[in-house]
Amino acid sequence: MNVVSADWLPYCLPLKRPWLTSQGRLDERHGHLLRLRTSDGLTGWGDCAPLPEFGIDEAAARDLAEECALLDLAAQRARLPLGCWLAGGPPIQSVAVNATLGPIATVTPEAIEASLAAGFRVLKIKVGVGRLVDEIGGLQHLCAALPAGIGLRLDANGAWDIAEAERFLAACRALPIDAIEEPLHAPDGAILHRLQASVPFPLAIDESLHLIDSGFWRAPPVRRLVIKPCRFGGLLGSVEVGLRARAAGVECIVTSSLESACGLTACAHLATAIAPDSCHGLATADWLASDTGQAPEIVGGRMSLAPTPGLGFQNFPSC
């Protein structure tokens, strides 16, 4: 593979509304696209989208962009979609995704109605942002109006101490909860194991990578693992983790870190490779007021990928 040029193209993408979590607020997304060109006319793309306040540093984001661009070229040469190339199996052209609605205090009946009308069956909501009692009350009120078969995916981003987590989980036992991510401010494997045993739905870890050691796979303390490629050494590292998780009976969910369309497309390919039957956290393009290219289309609550070789990303001329 003869790469003849490598260009880093900066971008700054404003959000339509603030992205709020227990870890802070985000109003715009900064990053760089990496464009590799080969002597025989191929172009490979990667997205460097650091987010230090959420644990994604510049070095990891740059490494992911470089790996993604090279894998894009490799998959194009093999004449396979990137997800198919990663999985070594037949192409998967769509995956289910959850709606992303923001903090529970800001979720409106209109937003829920629009998500259901768009075909989403899982609605993701941020918790741990306001007072515990208010969020429990808001959650119970919201669930009372949900149609049957709709699940709520809650993300606390490590907001609670043990007592708060126990109180919140107890209030959720009879509710239509798909999962709760990162309930503990100071995650501990033994405590998470006990909390997981107390509820009928999965608990998940995302930021708490220090818990993933050899002992984690022997006796997983949670039933779900959230995959952001930067945190697992890139796309290939994420595939390896996905295989280990499958062997240990742990479900993997690929989620966006508010990447641009380029990075989001790479995450969608990864989702098809490691967990094609799961519902992933990738419906975030609508949060961006502008983008680097066309994000994968979502129809009926499923994100579609074109059956073209490689990543299949095309940047907008202004980027």
**Domains, the chain, with CATH or none:** 3-79 (3.30.390.10), 94-304 (3.20.20.120)
In this structure, is the dihedral angle defined by the CA atoms of residues 145, 199, 130 and 286, taken in order, positive or negative? negative
At residue 23, the pLDDT reads 65
- Cβ-based burial of 83 (10 A; exposed 0-12, middle 13-18, buried ≥19): buried
Q: What is the pLDDT of residue 91?
A: 87
Which residues in the chain belong to E strands, given as ranges?
A: 3-21, 24-38, 43-48, 94-97, 99-103, 122-126, 151-155, 177-181, 203-205, 224-227, 251-254, 279-280, 298-299, 302-304
CA distances to 1, 35, 275 from 40, in Å:
9, 15, 34
Q: What is the mean pLDDT of residues 140-146?
A: 94
6-21 confidence digits (pLDDT tens): 999 999 999 998 877 6
Please state the rounded mean pLDDT for residues 64-73. 98
Position 319 pLDDT exceeds 60? no
Tens of pLDDT, residues 28-50: 999 999 999 999 999 999 999 99
How far from 147 is each of 112, 117, 142, 151, CA to CA, in Å?
A: 11, 12, 10, 9
| Mean predicted confidence (pLDDT) in 102-125 | 95
Asked if the model's pLDDT at residue 167 lies above 60, the reply is yes
Could you tell me the two tokens for 81? Answer: 């979609």
More confident residue, 268 or 214: 268
